[in-house]
A and B are shown apart, each in its own frame.
Chain A
Amino acid sequence: MKFKKSFRTAWEGLMLNKARSFLTTLGVIIGVASVIVMLAVSAGTEASIAEQINALGANLVIVSPSRGVPGASRTLLIDDAYAIAEQVVGITGISAEQAPAPLNVRAGGTTLESIAIIGTTADFPEVRDYAVAEGRYFTVDEDEREAKVAVLGAGIAKDLFGEESAIGQTITVGSTKLTVIGVMEAKGIVSDVDYDGRVYLPINLVFQKFMTSTPMGADRVRTIYVKAESQDQIDSVIAQITFLLAERHDVDPAQPDFTVQTQQDIIATQEATTAAFRDLLAWVAGISLIVGGIGIMNIMLVSVTERTREIGLRQALGARPADVLMQFLLEAVILSLAGGLVGVLVGVGGSYLFGAWGTMRTEIVPLSIPLAFGAAAVVGIFFGYYPATRAAKLDPIEALRRE
């Protein structure tokens, strides 16, 4: 029998019971839609992680102390940062950063409790692509002489001074009085860090005033951000930093007590975490697709039983086992492909709505559409095959005798 005719026969079979056919496809619709939505959600998550890490600043090389390296007696020091700034070529600036325990910040009658304090070097705004909105950042000179100045995150400025200008005001951090010289632009929360809710101080002032009680000494830094002149310089900058610090720390450059990473490295690490999450989602979606397939198989078995007499008649009229097989297999495949098609629409629409109205960022993965649709077709063939062979194997006489 020709395919077109088989197709029509199968279609007529499905139209016999429209409501049931639709309900049967629901499983596949949900399966396909969830594959697309889940992949869109994890792609969205990855994209926003990458975006956040890129928001640290462009062309950054990030140096941090390795934790738990055996024999790592020394940690990253402010002098390491100065050495990098002086000796590494191909960089435009560095920003060494250190954070003491959070402190109360007071101005006039307002007290903000447990505020994050960040000590940085003077190049911080330039290196981290984070501009000063009002006033100015402190200078190298101010840092070196531990000037009692502060730059406020946008949120802190607002909380302390409202609409009033913060510049020139005095604030008390812990028990130290500082003069506000600048307010940073609003940046919001990036990678779980609330940039607007922090107070930025000269790093040497932080060492002097807020870290003297730390047993490890008040010249350690937690991160040195190094801005390369361009993307092309990054490999060279990493190599230079690695050899420079290895020499300074007297360690083997192959087994350093510090790590030198790029944003791409960090993104890759983060993606490894989200990949596990994505795999889990993909399994869940895949299983729902299989459940949808089992639903099709179930209904096809019922259909074969109900239509046994019809099958017997068709056999009497000359239908070969292959014709009967094709008729029922096509019914299953049409169901799953129709489910796949609607599932793609629901999945794409759902991903879009999630992104537009939900808290989750979604990015539709183009490949997920043929993937999910193809999976639906495979499910239809796989789960339609058994009922179809049952139909094809029926004995014409017994089938005709069935009521």
Chain B
Amino acid sequence: MNQPLIEVRELAKIYGEGDAAVYALASVDASIERGEFVAVMGPSGSGKSTLMNILGCLDRPTTGAYMLDGSDVSGMSKNELAAVRNRKIGFIFQSFNLLPRLSALANVSLPVMYNDDDVSEEEQRERAIAALNSVGLGDRLHHRPNQLSGGQQQRVAIARALINNPPLILADEPTGNLDSRSSEEIMGLLHELHAKGTTIVMVTHEPDIATHAGRIVCVRDGKVVSDGRDGHSPCLDRKVLDGGKQ
């Protein structure tokens, strides 16, 4: 298969109407090949999260086309989108988004529960343990989120994102709430995933983090202003990043 994993054409997302209309995304064209590690950068409010939400099939574009893994996502029903999110996409959020009353094990198991495959309880448990082992939390199975550090919580979230073996991981500022040591651990895990062939799209503010990626897409005012694999990007310049902030 040599078609790209992600292909978007003239993607636009408009909030509001008339004079009050906000172009969160204005005609974005992009394609991401299988196995790529892409960093999306840009000033605050430039449309990064909007783009990630659309790529994650959580939101629909106002106009434009989105092909994910060879299928047209734009015309899918809610149920089909839910199945796509479950099988093809692993989410990592800035705020971890773990369910506070569930153990690490139960949190990691959630995507399996919504799987159509008839997974037995033992298998679900084994897969969750394996996922937690792979992020180095094999000894924290029954801890609740509030008994774990921020870095550990994000590792639980990564285990949850990879438990269904999705081809795509979407991470919106995964290190945004973490100290630099935990950030490095998280990046190490993402590198491991990438090395195994998973495609990763990651939003970040931090140039250090972005340099982990093989490709940096720079977004401003809802448009892609630069997209390069040479390790250079206008967004790596602090001034550009801060320029977007009021």
- Which residues from chain A sit less than 8 Å from chain B, CB to CB? 1-2, 5, 9, 12, 16, 309-310, 313-323, 396-397, 400
Contacts and interface: CB of A to CB of B under 8 A. Distances in A.
A397 B53 contact: yes
B193 interface: no
A318 B119 CA distance: 15
Q: How large is the interface on B (under 10, 10 to 19, 20 to 34, 35 or more residues)?
A: 20 to 34
B59 to A, nearest CB: 5
Interface in B17-59: 53, 56, 58-59
> Lowest 4 A-B CB distances belong to which pairs?
A318-B86, A318-B114, A320-B82, A317-B111
Nearest to B91: A316
Given A1-B113, A16-B101, A323-B114, A317 B160 contact: yes
Contacts of B114: 1, 314, 317-320, 323
Given A5-B113, A397-B59, A318 B102 contact: no
Contacts of B53: 397
B101 A318 contact: no
Given A397-B53, A400-B58, A319 B101 contact: no
Given A1-B114, A2-B118, A314-B114, A320 B79 contact: yes
B213 to A, nearest CB: 23
B99 interface: yes
A263 to B, nearest CB: 64
Contacts, number: 59
Contacts of A310: 99
B78 A397 contact: no
A319 B111 CA distance: 8
Most interface-central of B83, B111, B113 (chain A CB within 10 A)? B113
B87 interface: yes
Interface of B: 53, 56, 58-59, 78-79, 82-83, 85-87, 91, 93, 97, 99, 101-102, 110-111, 113-115, 118, 160, 164
From DSSP, what is the main secondary structure of chain A's interface residues? helix
Contacts of A1: 113-114
A317 B56 CA distance: 10
A318 B58 CA distance: 10
Contacts of A319: 82, 114
Given A1-B113, A317-B160, A318-B86, 10 more contacts: A1-B114, A12-B101, A316-B97, A317-B86, A317-B91, A318-B82, A318-B115, A321-B79, A397-B53, A400-B93
Contacts of B110: 314, 317
Most interface-central of B82, B91, B93 (chain A CB within 10 A)? B82
B216 to A, nearest CB: 25
16 contacts: A12-B102, A16-B101, A317-B85, A317-B91, A317-B111, A318-B82, A318-B86, A318-B87, A318-B111, A318-B164, A321-B79, A322-B79, A323-B82, A396-B58, A400-B93, A400-B97
Contact of B56 (A2, A16, A313, A316): A316
